């Protein structure tokens, strides 16, 4: 699934460094025609928060997208 509206308000951190993503009611399947666009937007939104609000150095948005894309493509192919 692609969240489609990922932001700092949809990420919960549990004490043991577990990450929980919530509010996935608008998520789309990876085969959705706009899935890649939504994924890019999700990456931009969450990276912006970590950079500006949390002061954490994160990888460039495009680099994250390129890192995630092969996994997305494999899942689309059912591998």
Q: Which residues are catalytic?
A: 5, 23
Bridge partners of residue 11, in order along the sequence: 21
Burial class (CB in 10 A: 0-12, 13-18, 19+), 2: buried
Question: H-helix or E-strand containing 44?
Answer: helix 35-48
Bridge partners of residue 12, in order along the sequence: 20
């Amino acid at each position: 699934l692609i969240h489609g509206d990922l932001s700092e308000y949809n990420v919960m951190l549990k004490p043991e460094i577990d990450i929980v993503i919530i509010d996935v009611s608008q998520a789309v399947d990876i085969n959705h025609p706009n899935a890649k666009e939504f994924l890019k937007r999700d990456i931009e939104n969450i990276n912006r928060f970590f950079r500006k609000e949390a002061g954490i150095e994160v990888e460039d948005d495009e680099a994250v997208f390129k890192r995630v894309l092969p996994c997305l493509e494999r899942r689309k192919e059912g591998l």
